[in-house]
Amino acid sequence: MQDRFEQMRTFVAIAQTKRLGAAADRLGLVRSAVSRRLQEIEERLGVQLVTRNTRNLSLTDAGQEYYSRALAILEDVDAAEANLSKVGSDATGRLRISAPVSWSVMHLAPLAAEFSERFPGLELDINLNDRVVDVVEEGFDVALRISRLKDSTLVAREIAPIRHVVCASPAYFRRRGKPKRPDDLRIHRGLNYANVDDRLCWQFQDPGTQELFSVDVPVLARVNNGDALREMAMAGAGVAILPTFIVCHAVEAGHLQTVLTEFIRPPLHLYAIYPSRRHLSAKVRVFVDFLLEKYGDYPVWDRIAGLQPNLPSKSQPAKIVKKAKSR
């Protein structure tokens, strides 16, 4: 008979993924081994824990109770082991991270060597993807997301603000003139981020009333990647509104110039998101603490871009007067 803790871990994986194959992938086992463990648990307990259909599994009432109790027991075991050693030295194994592409290439990847030197017992497994992953079902330890976070059953830790700037090349501004107010953008050529509604893309905040408003900017092109938009703006194609983490080096080098900074909307935020647990694992804890140490309220990309963090923050919510589609 398999060790009961291993059986519990197997059943928790089955309950969270709803598929034997997905649970096997998470545990590093073959599907038949997971199926056998489930059968052994049900035979030992004398109850049916799951019902099967052609695609997914669902928990019976007994299965839901066993899942809740098994999850609590495993969390207590993990916490007991973590408390017996220092957090850093206990940070071992594989750390599965989901993170957005552009931010990670520019700001996460350069820190990998330093992080690995501090925590040599950790193996980084980084998946770069701009889609919103299911942290639990896909087996990630932590996901980094840039958003205005909605309610979730997951735990979220705010890492840093993500501010935007309106920018274009010096050559473009020489040809078309620099806008003094957001309404001036109506005569410019907009480079839009395709994954956001156009009116939400060109959204600003009145510095006096703190009200949000949108401007209709003629669209030259829509692109679903911020790096490509930066390159188009640098080439003089038009004006874009982009995160400072994408344009900071181009601004520093003089390839892009920023305008309308006093009208920039409240920032989004970079969050570290992980499954809701009473005790955070050591490997996730050291990773999140490392990011907080490196960034914070005035992250390096804002400093490089010369953007002062005197914009509305989460402690000063803006009054929304024109609704747009949510992100």
Average of pLDDT values for 190-194? 92
The two beta strands, 239-243 and 164-168, are antiparallel
Instruction: Please name which of 313, 57, 290 lies closest in space to residue 162, comparing C-alpha atoms.
Output: 313
Domain boundary among 83, 107, 127: 83
The confidence score (pLDDT) of residue 96 equals: 92
Length of the chain: 327
The confidence score (pLDDT) of residue 107 equals: 93
Average of pLDDT values for 21-33? 87
- Give the CA angle between residues 215, 251, 231 to the nearest 5°: 75
Owning domain of residue 248: 164-266+307-320
Instruction: Using pLDDT thresholds of 50, 70 and 90, give the confidence band for residue 153.
Output: low
Residue 51 predicted with pLDDT over 50: yes
Tokens standing for residue 115: 């992080």
CA distances from 170 to 7, 180, 302 (A): 63, 15, 20
| pLDDT tens readout for residues 67-77 | 988 888 887 77
Average of pLDDT values for 2-27? 85
Report the Cα 56 to chain-centroid distance in Å. 27
Give the H/E segment covering residue 165: strand 164-168
Backbone dihedral angles phi then psi of residue 142, each to the nearest 5 degrees = -155, 145
**Residues 131 and 261 occupy one common structural domain:** no
**Residues 218 and 286 occupy one common structural domain:** no
Average of pLDDT values for 96-118? 92
d(CA 30, CA 20): 9
Q: Is 66 part of any domain?
A: yes
Q: Is 325 part of any domain?
A: no
Which CATH number fits the domain that encloses residue 44? Answer: 1.10.10.10
Tokens standing for residue 146: 């840039």
The confidence score (pLDDT) of residue 277 equals: 57
Q: Is 2 exposed, middle or buried (0-12, 13-18, 19+ CB in 10 A)?
A: middle
The residues, ordered by sequence, that sit 6+ positions from 69 with a Cβ below 8 Å of its Cβ are none
**CB-CB contact of 280 with 75 (8 Å):** no
Q: How many CB atoms lie within 10 A of CB 182?
A: 21
Domain boundary among 24, 52, 83: 83
Q: Is 101 part of any domain?
A: yes
Q: How many domains does the chain have?
A: 3
Instruction: Please name which of 194, 311, 327 lies closest in space to residue 258, comparing C-alpha atoms.
Output: 311
Residue 156 predicted with pLDDT over 70: yes
**Residues 114 and 256 occupy one common structural domain:** no
| pLDDT tens readout for residues 241-298 | 999 999 999 999 999 999 999 998 889 999 998 876 555 788 888 999 999 988 888 8
Which CATH number fits the domain that encloses residue 220? Answer: 3.40.190.10
d(CA 255, CA 107): 20
Tokens standing for residue 192: 């839009």
The confidence score (pLDDT) of residue 216 equals: 92
**Residues 289 and 315 occupy one common structural domain:** no
Instruction: Please name which of 312, 269, 307, 288 lies closest in space to residue 103, comparing C-alpha atoms.
Output: 269
Half-sphere exposure of 169 (CA within 13 A, CB side): 16
Lowest mean pLDDT among 4-18, 93-107, 169-183, 220-234: 4-18
Instruction: Please name which of 51, 61, 73, 57 lies closest in space to residue 6, comparing C-alpha atoms.
Output: 73
| pLDDT tens readout for residues 81-101 | 555 444 555 677 889 999 999
Tokens standing for residue 12: 């928790």
